[in-house]
A and B are shown apart, each in its own frame.
Chain A
Amino acid sequence: MLAGARESGTEVVLLSGGTDLVPALRSGERRADAVVALRRVQELRVRGAGADSLTVGAGVTYTDLVGWSLSPGLARTARVVGSVQIRNTGTVGGALGSARPAGDLLTFLTAADAEVLTASPSGPARLPLARFLAGGPAPGAVVTAVRLARPGGPQTYLKIGGRQAAFPAVVSCAVLVDRLRRSLTCAIGGVGRLPARMEEAESAAAGDIDWATGTASPAAARRFADLVTAAAARIAPALPVGPRESAEYRWHAAGVLAGRAFTRCLLPAATPDEPT
């Protein structure tokens, strides 16, 4: 139906919670001649766990994720999105559909190497999140779920913004440690047009971490932070800066957040984040 509609020139839009789409329709930023509502499609609302992966349906809301013990990192990310009203309504599918540069979930999923599952007239497909974000969904495709690995160690998500609660991220950072694969992954949101992986810092960290104990030194944390600051400055294309946060501040904050996330995941006295 979607593909057909597109050809005939009418604007058919997908709707999940509506938190992004409905205000955009009102302001005229988005147009719609017809709406395909997904909110009550039960199949999209499931969360599941396989042997080594987790699958989150596109219709799962942030509130649904907040208490999810199988993925403390995802739970924590969901917990710091917007307000109660937005968490109750906004969904995973909508977050992917909107692909906001500083979307909290996108940053976390970028660090998690998530895959996006879509359905379209040409059948189901799976593609890495980065590719999905770079190219957008195939015309007529509906995001049905995201898939990510089961946590293999501590993970955390940190964000900063303009006030104490209910704020969009200015800069954010996700760090996931996988002790089995001996890898650390890190994504920074809010600096570039899309969340960016910090590959150089990641590989330096892999070498700095004592994998037997899953710990690292304060010096390693400092090095990690510095590498992220430097890499953040190279992210392209960069987001236009606002008057309240210069580019330099964003790079600096990216490094600070990365250092802290690293510390919380890997320094001996620290405890990884638990969801509330």
Chain B
Amino acid sequence: MSGGVGASARRPDGPAKVAGTFPYAGDLRVPGMLHGRTLRCPHPRARIRRVDTATARQLPGVAAVVTAADVPGVATYGLIIADQPVFAATEARYAGEPVAAVAAVDARTARRALAAIEVDYEPLPPHTDPALALAPDTPRLHPAGNLYREIDVRHGDPDRDGPVVIEDHYVVGMQDQAFLAPEAALITPAADGGVDLRVATQWLHSDREQLAACLALPEDLVRLTLAGVGGAFGGREDITLQIHGALLARAAGAPVRIAYDRVESFLGHPHRHPARMWFRHTATRAGDLVSVQARLVLDGGAYASSSPAVLANAVTHAAGPYRVPHARLHGVVVRTNNPPCGAMRGFGVPQVTIGHEAQLDRLADAVGLDPVELRVRNAICPGDILPTGQVMGGPLPARELIQLVAARPLPPSPTAGPAGPTGLTLPGGLPAAADPSRVRRGVGYALAYKNLLFSEGMDDSSVARVRLDLAADGTPRASIHSACAEVGQGFVAIAEQIARTELGVDQVVLRPADTAIGSAGSTSASRQTWMSGGAVRGACVAVADRLLARVARTAGLPARVVEAPGASLRITAGRIVGAEAGLRLTLADALAAGPVEAEFTFHHRRTTALDAAGQGDPHVAFAAAAHRAVVDVDLDLGLVRVVSMALAQDCGTVLNPLALRGQVEGGTAQGLGLAVMEELVTDGGRVTNPTFHDYLLPTAADVPDLDFVAVTEPQPEAPYGVKGVGEAPTCTATPAIVAAIRAAVGRDLRRVPVRPQDLVDLENPVDLPGAPGGDPPA
């Protein structure tokens, strides 16, 4: 048996993916299917006086047109609060809000039908400034009001001050998940009155619950199967086209393919919350933190999505992984007429990390300490009390991580090497606009921690079923059934590894993820390896137990062995061995008597909600990461090149080293994007750059090699001691790069993403080199 836990096992879906044959949701086609499209409101806020679909319905080739009037069940949906209309009925609250949908014989006819729908809008003045959302003269933008949630954490004596005070405001822009495969689903009405969906999503059962409520169907008539998912990063946690497509399929009585293009994808799913943050850190002259105050305003946009949970994360992590005796952490997440914001990798933590890490660097300057030294001095340790009163459980090697990353070798200096820098290696890249003599290098650090799994008392669980039988060729085979959404993260490999290790088989097959089994929860919050990995392991252990009990019974072993077979028998490398019992037979022989099957539900430890003072035991566990970024900045043009990134991360037990590397490299790249280029820009509530032409993503030329060190202390209570690994590096990459830019240009940076114009001195004339150093070859 090879490819068990701890090996760099290959992904089972890999061969199809490299061959181009892996079926993504957008690739699904059936004969006779219709094409669904969505009509979206162009105004950030508008009263809808009338929606006239008569002309559209009469167009040849149009099979169905649906609007709010056609929603048979609950008119609204939402992950936490069902406040978002399936279709806007009387008022639209953001530019891009769905108003109607059509199904037609082909995409062009569907597009024509959309154009034929007449909507009489009365544009209303949009309210897009989150700072004013709660002002007395701002109207309620929704019957539920403009406040999604407010949290006030008080810890120690919030009025206590140290002698050194650092206080400032920070702004973080809106990032998009920009998963590569836009939203898509194939939806078929079923003969039993139900509906079958093949869809790319992060959470099949949450989709089902919301679909059933809006369609007024019992949940068992709403069946979902996961179709190939091309990335997610939080952007597929909310419903987008599922309900629209199901309404169309039911209205037309035919299968409907509904899919977004890139522009619609940008408008269709919630984004990362933009944040405005104020921090006040005080410390002793020696550099020990005395207090942290924070006030956060997150812009939730027009609908709730997961805003309340994102705020809890932002506020409870606002002081960072540091020992803070006194704190007052306050945050609100508010409704505006901007696009809705929700889950994205890091879930509220990247924003506050940008703030607290900038503060720590300035504090280091103020007390005359090295930024690493200051962090080492204040880093939190297991046993310390967090601002929520939660005791930090172990392990959390924050101090070790920052020391480790600081000890990594630095890249060679910018001008070293025989050829010197070429265009490719200069800020701004190949066009070689940078002038080497005007390039300054900066080094920056960031340390963060991120909660793992769902928080605040949620009894989260995941179900898996495992069956052990003989394949047609007589070899033992394990089949796994879980509703865990594989979105790219590699759960499919991990699940197989677990089954190999626990059941000693080579052959493992994964059934498609669907709603025929219980929920696996969301593929988010760094939870699936732990939760669904735990469920698969639990089911494997139960299967092994059942099989061994059967073997013991058949072999006439004593009742004590039959009752607790695991104590004396075990499965290893295709055999069942029980030295004590003198038993030795192959797994295949044992399975000849018939397959064995078991289901297991994994729960994590219970947490508690926050009380009025923001106190409680809200988080299951944490993982930490530390990044060091090295950047080169062209001082005159404000161009930035990220030269190298080093990461030390608290990973728990590593189940698959290659998959781990992929996760941390991907997380780092997304953090890099937020630091220097990725921003979904709104103007009066309208997104002005919903394309890959204007919303720039990092390319291979932007992301340097990652120097990565894993710290692998096992996490108690987690299967095999794992920790989730995907989110922590996204939290630290951005602030480390921002810190490095600050070090290079010598000015404090208060806005992320950092723009070239924030880095150059527009007041003073251009500074040209006195002595030319020669032109860099292109």
Contacts and interface: CB of A to CB of B under 8 A. Distances in A.
Q: Touching in the complex, A and B, CB below 8 A?
A: yes
Interface of A: 27-28, 76, 79-80, 157-168, 218, 221-222, 225-226, 229, 242-246, 248-249, 252-253, 255-257, 259-260, 263-264, 267-276
Contacts of A273: 432, 775, 778
B637 A256 contact: yes
Given A218-B772, A264-B775, A164 B641 contact: yes
Contact of A160 (B637, B693, B698): B637
Main secondary structure of the interface of B (DSSP, over half): loop
Contact of B699 (A76, A163, A276): A163
A246 B766 contact: no
B430 A226 contact: no
A271 B313 CA distance: 54
Which 9 pairs across A and B sit closest by C-beta, in order of nearness?
A164-B429, A165-B701, A249-B757, A164-B701, A267-B772, A158-B433, A80-B431, A162-B696, A264-B775
A27 B681 CA distance: 20
| Most interface-central of B677, B693, B756 (chain A CB within 10 A) | B756
B681 A243 contact: yes
Contacts of A167: 429, 696
B766 A252 contact: yes
A240 B434 CA distance: 25
B769 interface: yes
B773 interface: yes
13 contacts: A79-B778, A163-B698, A164-B641, A165-B700, A222-B768, A229-B766, A242-B688, A243-B683, A244-B757, A252-B760, A269-B773, A273-B432, A276-B777
Interface residues of B, number: 46
Interface in B397-436: 423-424, 428-433, 435
Given A256-B636, A263-B772, A264-B775, A163 B766 contact: no
Given A252-B762, A263-B435, 15 more contacts: A159-B431, A163-B429, A163-B677, A164-B430, A167-B429, A218-B771, A242-B688, A243-B679, A245-B757, A249-B760, A259-B766, A271-B774, A274-B777, A276-B430, A276-B778
Contacts, number: 130
A222 B766 contact: yes
B60 interface: no
Interface string B616-656: 00000000000000000000111101000000000000000
Contact of A79 (B430, B636, B699, B765): B430
B701 A163 contact: yes
Interface in B694-737: 696, 698-702
Given A255-B766, A256-B766, A260-B435, A270 B696 contact: no
A154 to B, nearest CB: 10
A142 B766 CA distance: 43
A163 B765 CA distance: 25
A69 to B, nearest CB: 14
A7 to B, nearest CB: 27
Contact of A263 (B433, B677, B769): B769
A215 B111 CA distance: 61
Given A163-B698, A256-B637, A168 B693 contact: yes
Nearest to B770: A218
B172 to A, nearest CB: 14
Contacts of A225: 766, 768
A272 B432 CA distance: 12
Contacts of A264: 772, 775
Contact of B433 (A168, A226, A255, A257): A257
Contacts of B263: 27
A265 B320 CA distance: 51
A269 to B, nearest CB: 5
Nearest to A165: B701
B604 interface: no
Contacts of B688: 242-243
A177 B636 CA distance: 24
A218 B431 contact: no
A157 B433 CA distance: 9
Contacts of B641: 164
Contact of A272 (B756, B768, B771, B775): B775
A249 B699 contact: no
Contacts of B111: 28
Contacts of A229: 766
A226 B766 CA distance: 7
A160 B756 CA distance: 10
Contacts of B570: none
A79 B777 CA distance: 13
A269 B683 CA distance: 47
B591 to A, nearest CB: 52
B755 interface: yes
| Most interface-central of A160, A226, A272, A274 (chain B CB within 10 A) | A160
B693 A263 contact: no
B755 to A, nearest CB: 5
B770 A248 contact: no
A50 B677 CA distance: 45
Nearest to A268: B772
A163 B702 contact: yes
Contacts of B755: 244-245
A76 B769 CA distance: 23
Interface in B739-778: 755-757, 760, 762, 765-766, 768-775, 777-778
A31 to B, nearest CB: 13
Given A160-B428, A273-B778, A249 B766 contact: no
Nearest to A261: B433
A157 B765 CA distance: 22
B428 A275 contact: no
B431 to A, nearest CB: 4
Contact of A165 (B429, B676, B677, B769): B429
B178 to A, nearest CB: 14
Contacts of A244: 679, 681, 755-757
A189 to B, nearest CB: 12
A264 B773 CA distance: 10
Contacts of A161: 428
Nearest to A250: B757
Contacts of A79: 430, 778
Nearest to A166: B699
Given A79-B430, A160-B639, A263-B769, A269 B762 contact: no
A28 to B, nearest CB: 8
B772 A253 contact: no
Contact of B768 (A80, A160, A221, A269): A221
Contacts of A245: 755-757
Contacts of A246: 757
Contacts of B677: 162-163
A106 B111 CA distance: 35
A269 B771 contact: yes
A27 B698 CA distance: 24
B760 A274 contact: no
Interface in B432-482: 432-433, 435
A164 B428 contact: yes
